[in-house]
Amino acid sequence: MYVLPDSRYAVPAAPIFISYRRSDTSAYAEYLYHLIVEHFGEHAVFMDRNSLESGALWLSKVQFAAQTCQVMLVVIGQQWVTVTDPNTNLRRLDNPQDVLRSEVATALARGILVVPVLVDDARLPRADELADDLKPLLDREACRIRSDQVQDDIARLVKSLEPAVSPRAQVVAEPVQATYATPVAGAMPFIFAVNVNPEARDVLIVAMLVAGVLLLIYMYYKSHGWQGA
């Protein structure tokens, strides 16, 4: 479910979050994203570079998605543990402000479904390679994506997510279309925020307008009396 235009109230975003290192598993994450979109729909999955519009406050968007998703897929390649910051030469996972560490730690702390997705020969980290807030990841059952069977492996993974991504979650992941009507003088303002067929909505609006006109005519003649020919 997405926030209606001009709304200040935050509601859950995409139910599936793909966490990955661009320098480690970018191609696999991209392929995983597209297969999830084919299965659940575009608005059911969050992946930073595919889900952020130009000019967005990307960090707050990523944090919000991690705080509201139902499932996080942590894509782990052979360099996931060892990737370093070029400015400090320190492991990125050792930095509490690292975005990937923060998003994974957030999902683990929330207790939602977190799936380590191992790519090819990648392994789960050892406990001594992880900060305390990431160690619960080792308790989660992992799945593996192999380069020679990538489509079948991802298809099985996506299928396995169906129980966690409920039909309701898949429906509310679609953006809500809101149409605001211009208030008539002396009338109560109203809003149609129901995601209905546009043609049916237009028929409903016309019917309401006709009924309103007939009601005004009736009230006029009732107050002024009926005049026969």
Tokens 């009338």 map to which residue? 187
3-state class percentages of the chain: helix first, strand second, coil last, to nearest 5: 50, 10, 40
Separation CA 112–CA 49 (nearest Å): 23
- What pLDDT sits at residue 15? 92
Separation CA 18–CA 66 (nearest Å): 9
- What pLDDT sits at residue 221? 73
Check: CB of residue 134 under 8 Å from CB of residue 108. Answer: yes
- What pLDDT sits at residue 191? 40
Q: How far is CA 137 from CA 114, 123, 129, 198, 211, in A?
A: 8, 12, 12, 45, 60
- What pLDDT sits at residue 213? 81
Neighbouring residues of 118: CB distance < 8 A, sequence distance ≥ 6: 76, 124, 142, 143, 144, 145
Strands 45-46 and 113-119: unpaired
**How many C-beta atoms lie closer than 10 Å to residue 167's C-beta?**
8
- What pLDDT sits at residue 192? 42
**67 is written with which tokens?**
């705080």
- What pLDDT sits at residue 211? 84
Strands 16-19 and 113-119: unpaired
- What pLDDT sits at residue 194? 42
pTM for the structure as a whole = 0.67
CA angle 68, 74, 79 (to 5 degrees): 145
**95 is written with which tokens?**
């930095």
- What pLDDT sits at residue 181? 40
- What pLDDT sits at residue 29? 93
Could you tell me the domains of the chain?
16-172 (3.40.50.10140), 179-224 (no CATH)
Residues facing 116 on adjacent strands: 74
pLDDT per residue, tens digit, the chain (229 aa), is 333 333 233 445 689 999 999 989 999 999 999 999 999 988 889 888 655 555 556 688 888 889 999 999 999 999 999 999 998 999 999 999 999 999 999 999 999 999 999 999 999 999 999 999 999 999 999 999 999 999 999 999 999 999 888 554 444 444 434 333 444 444 444 444 444 455 566 677 778 888 888 888 877 777 766 555 4
- What pLDDT sits at residue 18? 95
